[in-house]
Chain A
Amino acid sequence: MIEIIVLLILLILGYGFGSYREKRHYQSILEREEQLRHIMLFESRFPPDIKTSGDAQLVQGNVVISADYFKIFVAGLRKLVGGRLRSYESLLDRGRREAILRMKEQANKAGASKIFNVKFETSSISKGEQNTLGSIEVLVYGSALS
């Protein structure tokens, strides 16, 4: 009985805080994306033949993000039948967009307007209980040019 109550409290806490923070985070991501839209990202290995000035500088952004209890629980249920784990998709999306924004902020501070050779890397730095999703690190880096 007590176990069920604890589980319910954890689920409610996870859902409440998790979805509130996700909403807030998306709001701030959208605002900052608008502010930094003038910085262009390119995945090409070589800069195109356009006028650039100054030297390249390595810029990077990283974020470690973790899922809330509710998301882990829902994903656990979803795993029984398979298919899309929507609760984790939004988590990775947020992490990646946040990392891009941090990289763009760094480039902005250095006075650059373009970032070339953008590379992404995602790694799981710790596992949760029973091998569930723990914390995930997203790293993005590239060369900034003005």
Chain B
Amino acid sequence: MLLSNMEIIPQRKINKHLGLVQGSTVRAKHVGKDILAGFKNILGGELVAYTELMTEARDEATQRMVEQAESIGANAVLNVRFATSSVAQGAAELFAYGTAVVLEPERGVSEPTATPTSE
């Protein structure tokens, strides 16, 4: 599955447009982590536990979007956007959406993202 936040992929043709796909997750923080974060509010700096939590949650939202795209037979999601909203005190919703498309297969290669080519 190819993910990109551009509307086109250079040198590739879009064969079919399948419409909007989306994925979201609502996450709350763990009380222990919240207390630790309270200390960090005195000392300042990065809250590593939160950074990990947000990355994990965003990956999950992306994963759900990809599953939806796969189920309708797409091989790429273009124009991917992320949104974050705080739905309640201590809980955040992470949302990912994009356009599912069928890209023209690359000559001879079936899985284009597997090996990045560098010269």
B84 adjacent to A125 (CB under 8 Å)? yes
Interface residues of B, dominant DSSP: mixed
Distance between Cα atoms of A54 and B115 in the complex (Å): 9
Distance between Cα atoms of A4 and B46 in the complex (Å): 28
Given A45-B7, A139-B82, A146-B117 contact (CB < 8 Å) = yes
Determine how close the nearest CB of chain B comes to the CB of A33; give it in whole angstroms. 17
Most buried by B among A22, A47, A54, A139: A54
> A53 on the interface (CB 8 Å rule)?
yes
The listed residue (B42, B44, B54, B116) touching A57 by CB distance below 8 A is B116
Question: From residue 73 to 103 of chain A, which have CB atoms closer than 8 A to chain B?
Answer: 91, 98
Question: Interface readout for A29-46 with B: 1 if CB under 8 Å, 0 if not?
Answer: 000000000000000011
Q: Please report A residues at the B interface, Cβ cutoff 8 Å.
A: 10, 13-14, 17-18, 21-22, 25, 45-47, 52-58, 60, 62-72, 91, 98, 110-112, 116-117, 119, 121, 123-128, 134-135, 137, 139, 141-143, 145-146
Q: Please report B residues at the A interface, Cβ cutoff 8 Å.
A: 2-12, 29, 34, 37, 40-47, 50-51, 54-55, 58, 80-86, 89-90, 92, 106, 112-113, 116-119
